[in-house]
């Protein structure tokens, strides 16, 4: 999906928590959203998901073909699609938006008396008929397989470990079959092997994905593009090798680091040496 984040800002608690962010995450690729605690990553993901209306700017997505959605005149000549009809994501009808955009929120501690199958089926609600039937009865299992969680299908949600819950959350987001996938710290609770498997999977999915990540080396290894937030503002954007430099890491995170080049992948490897 061609996504344009255009001058987006929101005020919460009397201050701009996200402030004037302009970004165009590449379509069909994995973008990492980086920045220290409180930088505004979760808030920006909620804005991009259309769950939070912006107080400034807009998040524009292509209008669905044949829809009567409110569209803006195309302000995004930079995205190479002049004349394309675009619409602010927060104005999309909720059901339609849920078919196009999935947000994996940071884990909530809620315990629900549901099986894993039922939790993942929640992601299919936007596709259900008036009678509540899913037109694609294989979608839940496909999503569980993709998230390496098919073996959990009949388990009760409340009995799962943190890492198992995280995989099921990912499966629920995938079951929505979105054009835009937004992941808030998706590697939380996952062991190193599961972290690598998940990021390799979403990188290769071909779906425009924005993932808030704290692990700079995972971002460097898997992301095509990174956005770095600090105090609600975008301070850098581009390929990891261009963005994740020692001066940037010092400025944004207050840490000293050596940035090496991986001998096989050519990607940056960040060796933290201490607080600046």
Ligand X SMILES: Nc1ncnc2c1ncn2[C@@H]1O[C@H](COP(=O)(O)OP(=O)(O)OP(=O)(O)O)[C@@H](O)[C@H]1O
> Which residues of the chain form contacts with ligand X (CB under 6 A)?
12-13, 17, 35, 37-43
- For ligand X, the closer CB: 15 or 151: 15
Question: H or E stretch including 27?
Answer: none
Which stretches of 176-254 are DSSP H helices?
Answer: 192-203, 216-222, 240-243, 246-253
Q: How far is the CB of 49 from ligand X (least distance, A)?
A: 13
How many angstroms separate the Cα of 96 from the Cα of each of 1, 65, 78, 138, 159?
15, 12, 26, 21, 33
Q: How far is the CB of 121 from ligand X (least distance, A)?
A: 28
Rounded to whole angstroms, the Cα distance separating 46 from 208 reads: 16
Rounded to whole angstroms, the Cα distance separating 154 from 247 reads: 49
- For ligand X, the closer CB: 42 or 87: 42
Q: Which residue number has the CB closest to ligand X?
A: 13
Q: How far is the CB of 101 from ligand X (least distance, A)?
A: 18
Q: How far is the CB of 252 from ligand X (least distance, A)?
A: 12
Query: Which residues lie closer than 8 Å to 96 by C-beta, 6 or more apart?
Result: 64, 67, 69, 126
Q: Do the beta carbons of residue 44 and residue 21 sit within 8 Å?
A: yes
- For ligand X, the closer CB: 44 or 144: 44
- For ligand X, the closer CB: 126 or 232: 232
- For ligand X, the closer CB: 52 or 149: 52
- For ligand X, the closer CB: 264 or 275: 275
**CA 140 to the chain's CA centroid:** 20
Grouping H, G, I as helix, E, B as strand and the rest as coil, residue 264 is: coil
Q: How far is the CB of 23 from ligand X (least distance, A)?
A: 15
Rounded to whole angstroms, the Cα distance separating 32 from 239 reads: 10
Q: How far is the CB of 18 from ligand X (least distance, A)?
A: 7
């Amino acid at each position: 999906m061609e996504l344009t984040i255009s001058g987006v800002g929101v005020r919460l608690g009397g201050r701009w928590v996200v402030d004037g962010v302009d970004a165009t995450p590449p379509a069909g690729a994995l973008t990492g959203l980086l920045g220290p605690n409180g930088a505004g990553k979760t808030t920006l993901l909620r804005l991009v998901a259309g769950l939070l209306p912006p107080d400034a700017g807009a998040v524009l997505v292509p209008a669905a073909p044949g829809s009567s959605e409110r569209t803006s005149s195309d302000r995004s000549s930079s995205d190479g699609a002049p004349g394309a009809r675009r619409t602010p994501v927060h104005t999309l009808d909720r059901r339609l938006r849920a078919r196009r955009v999935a947000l994996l929120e940071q884990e909530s501690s809620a315990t629900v008396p549901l099986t894993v199958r039922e939790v993942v089926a929640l992601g299919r609600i936007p596709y259900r008929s008036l009678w509540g039937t899913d037109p694609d009865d294989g979608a839940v299992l496909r999503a569980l397989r993709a998230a390496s969680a098919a073996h959990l299908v009949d388990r009760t949600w409340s009995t799962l470990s943190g890492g198992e819950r995280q995989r099921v959350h990912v499966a629920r987001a995938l079951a929505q079959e979105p054009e835009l996938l937004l992941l808030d710290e998706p590697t939380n609770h996952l062991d190193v092997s599961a972290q690598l498997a998940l990021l390799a999977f979403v990188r290769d999915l071909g779906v425009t994905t924005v993932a808030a990540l704290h692990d700079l080396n995972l971002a460097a290894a898997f992301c095509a593009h990174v956005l770095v937030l600090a105090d609600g503002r975008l301070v850098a954007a581009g390929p990891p090798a261009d963005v994740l430099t020692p001066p940037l890491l010092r400025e944004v995170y207050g840490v000293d680091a050596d940035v090496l080049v991986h001998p096989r992948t050519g990607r940056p490897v960040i060796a933290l040496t201490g607080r600046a």
